[in-house]
Structure 1
């Protein structure tokens, strides 16, 4: 369908605005304080009017995306806190919405064990939105994320409570909400899905179950507890990003996924441990995090914008 030049907006009313000139680096993204609003399915929609690196294996897209955004491109991002659904099955979520350069494409971002409100996850979601997307970050843990003050001896007990079927149900409910928002304004586009750590492992689960229905591309950052056999059922492009010094995301598991699925590609960074791409701890990690972000950005551009 045709597009007007006005930016698309969702029916969940935006209540936060933060101006930025250019694309902020990871360390400079502001801590967002999002106001609350409950999604009302009966509310009328607002109409849409759109060098050398240390990685030793790189399989990414052929389409080049602009290296840096112009001063005008990332001027405004709206953030809203939502409640999707009702009662015990309701899901809290943050929506980060590009305004001026919105490409009318949705992304689900699945958090690590620290949950959807952790600052590094929100910072990353902001950056993705800054590149034109509408990013929904659902609460995968229903208000009970892992916290750093908990003893590690409890981690397995806590993980056992995060039922994969329940998590998948929440992810698909979140995806359906976003797709309904697009359908309400006459736009039909498949979503992207990004995940870190726990969420990165669930990206593989979700895409294997989805079978090219909701999602058009996925990115898994150092996914944990991945069942590589599930990759045989994935029908869309899947990018796997990890470090070769990460015991939580063995490279041989990612290699097995590549063997099982021709739609998957792997990028491995030398000397990098878990979490480097969304929670860099050193200048060297920050440099690789920037490179990983660019690779992810190109991958999503090819899989969600060029293909559609």
Structure 2
């Protein structure tokens, strides 16, 4: 059912119940895309979140956006799937077929449009985090001077050669139980990044975590929630280090500590 480098059930497991009305923010047009936005539009610091195959209406993803926004950022979650999130119940369109309609290179061009729109709004620094399918988009942004920091959460489609080209500070949060991004591959990524002292990096493999645990967790399961929130804190710490402090004189005293905001 799944596309190359996204094989196995992990990429499709625990699909969310989509809801366009979830979250504390609202949906606006940004760079030509329907975009969930959260936080103060007057902030000079923005975070771009790129969804997994289930898209920008996933309630957990919007909760994450709201958490990041509470730390003082303007958070944007564009609909890079053009209103066409993956539907596991559509047996006539398995993921391998769905993926053909959502070329990762096209999504990279889409992301550049959103980054440009943020800069046109006067944003001074931008961080980006990508979940599963979205991690490849963020990795590509990290290869050029478009963002100040990148976070990959249980990445899919990301290859060793991609990591070799990364220029922006990058954090990789991975799962111990993951056939799509197995620990062996993540350790390869870590070795490459360790050989690039000019690129600040952070790599962490979460014990007992499964692919998708940061965004497709069961909100009724205390352990799942705690594990996801740990990853969210690590993500926000990284973004704070490289986005919040990358621009001087931006009124950072109003930005709460990431640990307290989560």
TM-score by length of 2: 0.78
User: Aligned to 2:68, which of 117, 124, 128?
Assistant: 128
Aligned position for 1:79? 25
Name the CA distance, whole Å, in 2 between partners of 1:257 and 1:97.
33
Aligned position for 1:291? 230
8 A Cα contact 1:229 1:257, kept in partner: no
8 A Cα contact 1:112 1:196, kept in partner: yes
| Matched position secondary structure for 1:280 | coil
Matches within 5 A, 1:40-189: 79-85=25-31, 90-98=32-40, 104-151=44-91, 154-182=94-122, 189=124
Unaligned runs of 5+ in 1: 1-30, 35-76, 183-187
Q: Is the aligned partner of 1:253 residue 2:199?
A: no
Unaligned runs of 5+ in 2: 1-18, 248-262
**What is the CA distance between 1:292 and its match in structure 2?**
1.3
Name the CA distance, whole Å, in 1 between partners of 2:119 and 2:132.
25
CA distance 1:152–1:216, change in 2 (3 Å): farther
Q: Deviations over 1:15-39 (max 9, x none)?
A: xxxxxxxxxxxxxxxx7738xxxxx
Q: Deviations over 1:12-65 (max 9, x none)?
A: xxxxxxxxxxxxxxxxxxx7738xxxxxxxxxxxxxxxxxxxxxxxxxxxxxxx
Q: Deviations over 1:204-237 (max 9, x none)?
A: 12212x2xx2200011100111122111221111
Name the CA distance, whole Å, in 1 between partners of 2:92 and 2:214.
23
Q: Is the aligned partner of 1:190 residue 2:125?
A: yes
Structure with the bigger RCO (C-alpha within 8 Å, sep 6+) is 2
Point out the more displaced range, 195-204 or 218-227: 195-204
8 A Cα contact 1:202 1:223, kept in partner: no
Aligned position for 1:22? none
Name the CA distance, whole Å, in 2 between partners of 1:279 and 1:200.
15
Aligned position for 1:300? 239
User: Aligned to 1:268, which of 205, 209, 225?
Assistant: 205
Q: Report the aligned-residue RMSD.
A: 2.2
Q: Deviations over 1:71-90 (max 9, x none)?
A: xxxxxx962312235xxxx3
| Matched position secondary structure for 1:244 | strand
Q: Is the aligned partner of 1:203 residue 2:138?
A: yes
Larger radius of gyration: 1
8 A Cα contact 2:88 2:94, kept in partner: no
Name the CA distance, whole Å, in 2 between partners of 1:160 and 1:252.
28
**What is the CA distance between 1:199 and its match in structure 2?**
0.7
Name the CA distance, whole Å, in 2 between partners of 1:285 and 1:114.
19
